[in-house]
Amino acid sequence: MLEQTKVNIIDQSNEALLDQMGLKKTKLRLELVKHFKDAKHAQSYSDLKQIMGEGVDKSTLYRNLSAFEEVGLIHGINDHSGITKYALGASPSAGQEHAHFVCESCETVYCVKGMTEIQMKVPSGFKAKNIQTIIRGTCANC
């Protein structure tokens, strides 16, 4: 078994990456991975559809996003908009949390790594496994 958390996503070729994740290398998947690597902010379904081409099937795209998320290649972010956005990297887990910045003006979502420090206690009887932080505000482009 492969330890996904130890795979360095950015340094791998797109092909190697899909191989390691046990995913077949289809044209769309390669394009998706490439795009996620370049993306400066989190991508919604419609962002991706626009970039991958309008001909791309909805189910196929969504199924690939799910597949990518399952293996930890990307992670979904749920802000107040109700539209899930995806960004490269596994879901932030214990020890490697990162926050998400949502711009209130353009609704763009950015991953903000290593800039938040969260100390949490939970009521007795509760067990915390992971933490997700969403910062709302105005981004550099707005």
Partner DNA sequence: TTATAAATGCAACTGAGTTGCATTTAATTT
Partner DNA sequence: AAATTAAATGCAACTCAGTTGCATTTATAA
Q: Which residues bind a copy of itself (CB under 8 A)?
A: 76, 78-80, 82, 84, 99, 101, 104, 110, 112, 115-140
Contact 131, 120 (CB under 8 A): yes
CB of 128 to a copy of itself, least distance (A): 4
Choose the one of DNA, a copy of itself, none that binds residue 59, judging by a C-beta under 5 to 8 angstroms depending on kind: DNA
CB of 90 to a copy of itself, least distance (A): 14
Q: From CA 9, how far away is CA 44, in angstroms rounded?
A: 20
- Candidates 50, 66, 105, 133: give the one binding DNA (CB under 7 A): 66
Closest by alpha carbon to 4, among 63, 60, 87, 74?
Answer: 74
Residues 116-135 interacting with DNA (rule: CB under 7 A):
none
Six-digit token string for 54:
């309008």
Give CB contacts under 8 A, 24+ apart, made by 49-53: 52/28
**Of 18 and 111, which CB lies nearer to a copy of itself in the complex structure?**
111
Q: From CA 32, how far away is CA 71, in angstroms rounded?
A: 15
**Of 44 and 116, which CB lies nearer to DNA in the complex structure?**
44
Q: For the purposes of burial, counting CB atoms within 10 Å of the CB of 28, is it exposed (0-12), middle (13-18) or buried (19 or more)? A: middle
**Of 31 and 79, which CB lies nearer to a copy of itself in the complex structure?**
79
Which residues here bind DNA, judged by CB under 7 A? 18-19, 23-29, 44-46, 56-60, 62-64, 66-67, 82-84
